[in-house]
């Protein structure tokens, strides 16, 4: 058996990590009878490069013969731990590599802990559940050409940092100030105001990906989502099933499921999002 060693991740591990990510995901989908082609390397390297800069002590690789065969990362924000990535080359799976990488990234984790997994991945889900991360709500992937009227009385504007922080605390339950600069590199942010008060914000990429979108309440998030959908031609977004009003809004606009669902796993007691469209699996 090839000896596997573990060490902190470096910048030059990102591209090998991206290739391991593609091979692991392609293999997973193939075994489930689903199709998946390689994603561009930047789908992995850009967000994981950001996490490597903000949380270097939680990013690790598994190496065999100087080849990266596994990659993991997580972030800590305001007392909340989010597990971002764990991928192992198919030929090195079922050898304890994933478990060891998880343990390294989870060391010293805070009380509140979360991750998102593909619902078609029972092995990873079992590993995380054994460590107290309980499957709590689906992550639903929507897409299509929305048809819905804009809500009345809502105005688009530019948010202030304090407004973003207040909305994050309501929607996420923890501070995301560090991550807004990253989200803003690939998307345009809008504050949605009613009677002059920012009740929600939304990020939308040039390709039409919505998220994160967060509101002070579930209703305010739904109004912001409706406003975004009313001014877009083609969109995609990922919504926690616990955010029922947002799920209803997506269906009301004529959107449909476009990918297999994910699962949000959460430590107990679970605080599930009700006013949030996530930014994606990498950063929630």
Rounded CA-CA distance 26/36 in Å is: 6
pLDDT of residue 37: 84
Is the pLDDT at 70 greater than 90, yes or no?
Answer: yes
Q: What whole-number percentage of the chain has pLDDT above 70?
A: 100
Is the pLDDT at 116 greater than 70, yes or no?
Answer: yes
Task: For residue range 231-265, list pLDDT tens digits in order.
Answer: 999 999 999 999 999 999 999 999 999 999 999 99
> How many other CB atoms sit within 10 Å of the CB of residue 37?
8
3-state secondary structure of 194: strand
What's the sign of the alpha-carbon dihedral 116, 120, 124, 129? positive
Would you place residue 1 in the very low, low, confident or very high pLDDT band (cuts 50, 70, 90)?
Answer: low
Would you place residue 24 in the very low, low, confident or very high pLDDT band (cuts 50, 70, 90)?
Answer: confident
| Least confident stretch, 92-96, 149-153, 231-235, 272-276 | 92-96
Q: Which domains does the chain have, with CATH numbers?
A: 5-110 (3.40.630.30), 142-260+270-277 (3.40.630.90)
Is the pLDDT at 143 greater than 70, yes or no?
Answer: yes
Rounded CA-CA distance 84/224 in Å is: 27
Is the pLDDT at 147 greater than 90, yes or no?
Answer: yes
Average pLDDT, the chain: 96
Mean pLDDT, to the nearest integer, of 164-185? Answer: 98
Within 13 Å of residue 110, how many CA atoms lie on the same side as its CB? 13
Which pTM does this prediction carry? 0.95
Would you place residue 175 in the very low, low, confident or very high pLDDT band (cuts 50, 70, 90)?
Answer: very high
List the alpha helices (DSSP H) in the chain.
14-31, 42-54, 97-106, 122-130, 161-171, 177-186, 218-230, 244-252
């Amino acid at each position: 058996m090839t000896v596997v060693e573990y060490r902190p991740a470096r910048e030059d591990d990102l591209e090998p990590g991206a290739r391991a990510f593609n091979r692991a995901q392609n293999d997973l989908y193939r075994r489930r009878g689903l199709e998946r082609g390689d994603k561009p390397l930047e789908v992995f390297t850009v967000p994981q490069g950001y996490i490597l800069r903000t949380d270097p002590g939680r990013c690790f690789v598994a190496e065999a013969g100087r080849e990266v065969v596994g990659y993991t990362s997580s972030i800590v924000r305001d007392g909340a731990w989010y597990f971002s990535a764990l991928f192992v080359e198919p030929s090195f799976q079922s050898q304890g590599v994933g478990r060891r990488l998880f343990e390294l990234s989870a060391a010293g984790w805070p009380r509140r802990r979360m991750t998102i997994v593909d619902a078609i991945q029972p092995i990873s889900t079992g590993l995380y559940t054994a460590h107290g991360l309980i499957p709590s709500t689906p992550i639903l992937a929507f897409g299509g050409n929305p048809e819905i009227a804009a809500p009345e009385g809502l105005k688009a504007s530019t948010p202030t940092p304090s407004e973003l922080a207040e909305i994050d605390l309501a929607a996420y339950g923890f501070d995301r100030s560090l991550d807004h600069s990253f989200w803003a590199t690939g998307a345009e942010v809008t504050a949605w105001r009613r009677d002059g008060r920012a009740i929600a914000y939304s990020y939308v990429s040039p390709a039409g990906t919505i998220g994160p979108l967060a509101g002070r309440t579930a209703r305010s998030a739904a109004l912001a989502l409706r406003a975004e959908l009313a001014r877009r031609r083609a969109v995609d977004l990922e919504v926690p099933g616990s955010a029922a009003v947002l799920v209803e809004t997506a269906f009301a606009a004529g959107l449909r499921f476009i990918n297999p669902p994910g699962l949000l796993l959460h430590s107990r007691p679970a605080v599930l999002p009700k006013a949030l469209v996530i930014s994606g699996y990498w950063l929630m």
